[in-house]
Structure 1
């Protein structure tokens, strides 16, 4: 085979490998659905638990980049603090090594049958869940078929003098050689955006005798630095704590590689002892035919052992890592961002192709919008008691902010819906759109209350004592309803319809009863016409707020 043929076959194999990895990862995420998101969101402050969760989730989705980017998105949305996220990311580094362990198995004979079965499921299965299973199987087959193509593509290089001379430079027999291999692994991983692909390329070269074990292990160390670029890119434009999360991820991978480089020979001895001694695998560079089949297992074990050691070391000193990452990340705290009420704080368009993160961010922004509506409602309705018109000055700013947030969240969700999403994600998008629209209507009704209150205060109109009691009762009842539905949205409490129905009925009944009572007092001369007419309009708008809260409750419960 000529040089062009070698390059084409190797690159074609790499392309199939990457496509298979992506397909398998996406299929696994779709099958897992919301359970993965709920699993990550439920992470506690216990660092060991977080690490185990990260390892498990990454082993399931077969991509540490997916887990890490998801976590950066969660931190950006305020769902996690820095310490929680870092514990999970340490586990994700361990979980991603499962891919290398799978590649090291000699199951390439199953690649073509897996591709056939995967295509059959993906294109002919009627249920969407089985189509996703087909994606997983098809991705699995393409991954191993691509790996086999890469190995076969590299075979002719074994007898090519120029290439043999080139690969002898990747001999980690000295610090200079180790650093060259680490740098190469880093650059290669940045280029292909996949640490698993770098591992696959390294295994393919090593199996053909083009790389020895020390050089292969040093290349694998470099891929742990290169993989941090994904999180760094995801954090650009995010909150300060999101950037700190990405910076800490880079920090512990770089520091981990540095101390392993210093202890390279003992680490290499440990890899050989575990793989050859405990696991009973033959010598790494033992030839079977013209290949070195055992070396892949040594490389996979080196990858796993590095990340297990690194996770253990940094779990023990996680608070120190958090402080260092905080000091190394420049930027102003988010209080300045808080001042711009109408500016979305949690939405990041880099995540629209990742529904797990995007929908979490949209929900957090929706809850924030609901909290803003609560503040607006409380401030406006309080003026009837303190008669201070200056307290009404903020309602216009709040109403504009609600309008801006409605548009921003809606545009964001529409973009997410145009990607590849599951039925459950589609329903969640529809529910959130309903929530956002009704929260904005709460703002409209509160605006009407503000204008009516301003009319009362400016014209020095006073309600009778009974009218003020009714106003206070209605105001508090509707305020509690608004608080309940916003809290339910934040907590994803779907069991609220019974209470919501009761409160909606009570508010409707109170409106009718209070209006009738006013008419009775008007006829008896207890109250006057002008303030009473304004009061009736207020009751109408309170009842509208109750209706909108009921609509939000339906969306939270998943009914609409």
Structure 2
């Protein structure tokens, strides 16, 4: 019987059904456990063995090493994972992916799933009508799990029988009897198949079926498995192609790790396979060199032992791998963009809530530390270098008496407005398109609030700047002294915020900010009595008094907002809930 076009299409359809089942199952598991898994990924990678355990756990649960490595690349891109942490997670993912091979081997070859697969589809489909999201996801998982094995059953039936198609064996013999050359050829075939199909699990299923049907011998199936290990790294490298250097490094590390593993395995290829044969025999199985039916178990055993040994050998070389990848992919700073363009926001960061939040925080911090910092300091006629120096605040004010000629509105329009709008749009898109926990949604609301407070800071700064410019050149010494006090207070306040960024100890920084808020507002409130005295003694005109009182209020709100933004971006605390208590402390003092 000839294996014609219809049979080929049936084979492709069966493969498509298998892949669809795998995708439905993996997507459902991601929805069921994705937030917990990503939370674990972001927190449980403090050392290499925890990282390996995390990678293994996530891949075992979501049944997709590609999904895990894509997650790792995204997290590295958002600076949530360092390169050594990313490498250790990828190592664990390589072990986790072996679980899929065992599932296919045991349930696809040792146990017949065909009788229960269709009832499982019906059972799972029933859950998809539930109003509860979690039950819907469990239903999708059951349907996907069943479809995977229905697809595998169709694959087995569509795979041409050697006895009915002797030409296939004759064709393959040209490529299977070239010794080590055949090993290298099938390694390449495994790599290309995985790249094309974009699923090492599907390639593994095809490999196991080809061995079970007697198409290829044990050693060439093992070579295909090695190729699959290389091919699976391409997905992450493609995803990192448009990402920053950190993501590229994580993806390259995945490729290098697997290439090194394949390299040493090829050197020990035949002795290692003999070892697998011995272990398989000890487990009560026939030799894979003798029986085609024994090859699937032996291949799964080979896949598992290779990845476990490769991981626990190379785990001791994480630092050298890190250094090599850092050399191969050099650091690249934030790409030069127009002054009013976001530096960190990109659509790729909207794949996961954690990366979206991290990106929003990075963009907001960049806006705060650069544009807002510049506008406020220059509007108060302070040079930023003087602010960063250890020169006393009083001397900084005396040193800079000239008007720096700042146009606050123009700076807002050119350096803040567009980025502020982009941050709000990105945040809103994240809230509408991602499945967020209440905690994650609250965090995005905090970031949006911080940006709104930044705009308010600029508005208050613009109001105060008008009178700083006016009265710094006035003949009235009392007005000049009062506005110099405002400037001096701003120097002290800004130093308390900026000189500790980024904070090494968050809890200590929160306490410092609380003390700074109380100290600054106490100083400002004390100055209120000085203004009253100047008015009573007729040392300033009613118009001057009005300016001082208005700017007192503006400065009060400006100082409050500076601390609020800092706490929201750097300390993750809801300062709006504690401000009432803070004001009571200030008034009591």
Quote the residue 1:222 is aligned against: 227
The answer for the alignment partner of 1:364 in structure 2 is: 362
In the TM superposition, 1:7-156 aligns within 5 A as 7-44=8-45, 46-106=47-107, 107=111, 108-109=113-114, 110-124=116-130, 126-156=131-161
What RMSD in Å do the two structures reach over aligned CA positions?
4.1
Q: State the 1:319 CA deviation.
A: 2.0
Contact 1:25 1:62 in 2 (8 A): yes
Change (3 A) 1:483 1:369: farther
Q: Per the alignment, do residues 513 and 20 of structure 1 end up closer, same or farther by CA in structure 2, a change over 3 Å counting? A: farther
Tell me what 2:284 maps to.
280
Q: CA deviation at 1:84?
A: 2.3
The count of aligned residue pairs is 548
What SS class does the counterpart of residue 129 from structure 2 fall into?
helix
Residue 217 of structure 1 contacts residue 299 of structure 1 at CA under 8 Å; is this kept in 2?
Answer: yes
Kept in 1: contact 2:381–2:404 (CA 8 A): no
- Alpha-carbon separation, structure 1, partners of 2:568 and 2:303: 49
| Deviations 1:464-507, CA, capped at 9 Å, x for gaps | 656755665577568868999x989x9999xx9x9999999999
- Please, what TM-score do these two structures have when normalized by structure 1? 0.82
Give deviations 1:200-224, integer Å, cap 9, x for gaps.
Answer: 2212222222232211111111111
Over alpha carbons, which structure has the higher Rg?
2
Q: How big is the shift at 1:403? A: 2.5
Equivalent residue for 2:391? none
Summarize the alignment of residues 342-491 of structure 1 with structure 2, pairs less than 5 Å apart: 342-372=340-370, 375-376=373-374, 379-380=377-378, 383=381, 385=397, 386-387=400-401, 389-390=403-404, 400-417=414-431, 419=433, 421-422=435-436, 424=438, 429-457=444-472, 459=474, 463=479, 469=485, 472=488
Is residue 207–residue 293 contact of structure 1 (8 Å, CA) maintained in 2?
Answer: yes
- Residue 300 (structure 1) aligns with: 300
Which residue among 157, 164, 167 is the counterpart of 2:169? 164
Native 8 Å contact 2:450 2:565 kept in 1:
yes
* Counterparts in 2 of 1:481 and 1:221: CA distance versus 1, 3 Å: same
Q: Which runs of 5+ in 1 are unaligned?
A: none
Deviations 1:233-272 (A, max 9, x none): 1222322232222222212212321221222102212322
Instruction: Provide the rounded CA distance (Å) in 2 between the counterparts of 1:553 and 1:16.
Output: 51
Residues 435-457 of structure 1 show CA distances to partners (whole Å, capped at 9, x for unaligned) of: 43443443443444445434444
- For residues 399 and 7 of structure 1, do their structure 2 counterparts lie closer, same or farther at Cα, with a shift above 3 Å needed? same
- Normalising by structure 2, we get a TM-score of 0.79
Q: For 2:176 and 2:427, locate their aligned partners in 1 and report how far apart those are by CA, in whole Å.
A: 51
SS for the counterpart of 1:78 is coil
Structure 1 residue 381 displacement after superposition: 6.7
Alpha carbons 2:376, 2:461 under 8 Å: kept: no
Is 1:3 the equivalent of 2:9? no
The 1:169/1:116 distance shift into structure 2, 3 A limit, reads: farther
2:335–2:343 contact (8 Å) kept in structure 1: yes
Look up the SS of the partner of 1:273 in the other structure.
helix
Structure 1 residue 517: deviation in Å?
Answer: 5.5
Q: Map 1:181-330 onto structure 2 (within 5 A).
A: 181-277=186-282, 279-284=283-288, 292-329=292-329
Distance 1:255-1:499 versus aligned 2 partners, 3 A rule: closer
Is residue 348–residue 358 contact of structure 1 (8 Å, CA) maintained in 2?
A: no
The CA distance in 2 between the partners of 1:369 and 1:247, in whole Å, is 31
Mapped to 2, the partners of 1:115 and 1:19 lie a distance apart of 13
